[in-house]
Amino acid sequence: MGQTVIEKILSRHSQNDVRPGQVIWLDLNVRSARDFGGPNVVKNFEREYGKDQVDDPSKTFFTFDLCVPACSIRYANNQQICRKFARKKGFQVFDVDQGIGSHVLIQEGLASAGTTVVGTDSHMNILGAVGSFGQGMGDVDITFAYKTGKTWFEVPETVKVLITGQMSKTASPKDLTLFILKQMGTRKGALRAIEFYGSAVKSLDLSGRITLCSMVTEMAGIIGFIPEYDKTFAEEVEELSGKAYSPLAADEDAEYSDVLTIDVSGLEPQIAAPFLPTNVHDVSELCGKKIDSGFIGSCTNGRASDFAEAARILGRYKVKEGVMLKIVPATRIVYDVLLREGILSELFKSGAIISNPGCGGCAEGHIGLTGEGEVQLSTGNRNFAGKQGKGETYLTSPAVVAASCLAGCITVPEHS
């Protein structure tokens, strides 16, 4: 009997012909922790394993991205605890200058197609974008992985989702993602792997794939894969990571727990209203709502093309007086591209606040929170009550954030 993508990856890393429902011991190519979760891992490790070595220092990492550089003494102390531990054990830290861990692992070629990667980041399944099995885990799991190089995992079922039709020209990968999320809710993909097929997803570039795969977390799914791809995508990944792109494909006779079709014909820009990511509407329904701030960045929309799109919309105009627009590139490499292409300077001239790479406005990071009554448009992936402060967060695309920051209210960007 044939296998789905996840069954193939898990089989290769467990010497087992895996089937859904089976619990396996999985070999891990990468085990990582962030400045969040990392210090807890150090504490667990020293309590449970004393002065023992980690299983394989060359596969063990810290990636600091949440509060970078540290915005409080407690984060500063925690990061220092991690650095000292890493030095003692002889493994690498992608420090506060590098950017969002999952993106760094892609760019370093550590999370390449077919690999298994875990970290203290619930969006680690973003790595599905490059055909890697990434999984977020808590500090107990990661401690065990540091020590043993393995983790237990229950093989999930797979849902096949066929995306049909053509979106309108104003719709971006984020709009596609939000619309799929709206259709999937938190039930249809829950606790399962998802394979997306169809021309609207096959043609996505790395940034678009990252956007879609990142929000599988909000669908309550285990991970998403986009098995079909164009040559340009393969070249993009190869150039970035320095590794050949050869993803595993599902067998023709693979078994799916469900096959769903989502028609995106004529799809217009989308927005998720507070306080659930699944609370998705057409932007046109909410047009005119006054906003106070915008945030472009996060692991979902922090790539160079996301900022280029925002810069295109902003053009020579300035963000509306009284509105603040925060820009946070996902990684140092993205920042460098934006710098060289003059995009940062264009954004700056439009009045944006530009921050160093990292998670930025997504969690309680270093670029501030929302105050009571503040309305924020964010390109992130979560708008749960209280997550980024006391205000209300709407999730949408870089283009909608940019256009709305110009107008001072929720606006559908014009297509040029």
Residue pair 345/260 in contact by the 8 Å Cβ criterion: no
The token duo for 303 is 């790539």
The region of 39-47, 172-180, 229-237, 300-308 touching other proteins under the rule CB under 8 A is: 39-47
Residue 321 Cβ, how far from other proteins at the closest point, in Å? Answer: 31
From the list other proteins, ligand SF4, none, pick the one residue 220 interacts with, judged by a Cβ distance below 5 to 8 Å according to partner type: other proteins
Residues in 154-183 that interact with other proteins by CB under 8 A: 154
10 vs 299 by CB, closer to ligand SF4:
299
Q: Does 14 bind other proteins (CB under 8 A)?
A: no
377-396: contacts with other proteins (CB under 8 A): 382, 384-387
* # binding residues, other proteins (CB under 8 A): 44
Contact letters for other proteins, residues 51-90 (x by CB under 8 A):
---------------x-----x-xx--x------------
- Contact segment (CB under 8 A) with other proteins among 9-17, 136-144, 296-304, 315-323 equals 136-144
* Smallest separation, CB 6 to other proteins (Å): 13
Q: For every residue of the chain, which 3-state class applies, written as one string?
A: CECCHHHHHHHHCCCCCCCCCCEEEEECCEEEEECCEHHHHHHHHHHHHCCCCCCCHHHEEEECCCCCCCCCHHHHHHHHHHHHHHHHHCCEEECCCCECHHHHHHHCCCCCCCCEEEECCCCHHHHHHHCCEEEECCHHHHHHHHHHCEEEEECCCEEEEEEECCCCCCCCHHHHHHHHHHHHCCCCCCCCEEEEECHHHHCCCHHHHHHHHHCCCCCCCCEEECCCCCHHHHHHHHHHHCCCCCCCCCCCCECCCEEEEEECCCCCCEEECCCCCCCEEEHHHHCCCECCEEEEECCCCCCHHHHHHHHHHHCCCCCCCCCEEEEECCEHHHHHHHHHCCHHHHHHHCCCEECCCCCHHHCCCCCCCECCCCEEEECCCCCCCCCCECCEEEECCHHHHHHHHHHCECCCCCCC
Q: Among residues 241 and 393, whose Cβ is nearest to other proteins?
A: 393
The item of other proteins, ligand SF4, none sharing an interface with residue 299, based on CB under 5 to 8 Å by kind, is ligand SF4
Site string for other proteins, 250-289 (x = CB under 8 A): --------------------------x-------------
Q: How far is the CB of 369 from other proteins (least distance, A)?
A: 9
Tokens of 127: 């790595």
Paired residues of 161 in beta bridges = 196, 260
Nearer to ligand SF4, 348 or 384 (CB): 384
C-beta of 145 vs 311, nearer to other proteins? 145
Which range in 32-40, 51-59, 255-263, 287-295 contacts other proteins by CB under 8 A?
Answer: 32-40
Would you tell me which residues interact with ligand SF4 (CB under 6 A)?
Answer: 65-66, 100, 121, 123, 298-299, 359, 362-363, 380-381
Query: For residues 75 and 179, which CB has a smaller minimum distance to other proteins in the complex?
Result: 75
Nearer to ligand SF4, 9 or 299 (CB): 299
8 Å CB contact between 135 and 28: no
- Of other proteins, ligand SF4, none, which one sits near residue 43, judging by CB under 5 to 8 A according to partner kind? other proteins
CA quadruple 169, 174, 179, 180: dihedral sign: positive
The least CB distance from residue 107 to other proteins, in Å, is 22
Of the candidates 4, 5, 31, 39, which one interacts with other proteins according to CB under 8 A?
A: 39
Residues 307, 172: Cα–Cα separation, whole Å: 13
* Smallest gap from residue 204 Cβ to other proteins (A): 25
Q: Which two tokens stand for residue 305?
A: 């093309």
Residues of this chain that bind other proteins (CB under 8 A): 23, 36-37, 39-40, 43-44, 48, 66, 72, 74-75, 78, 120-122, 124, 135-141, 143-144, 147-148, 152, 154, 186, 190-191, 217, 220, 222, 276, 363-364, 382, 384-387
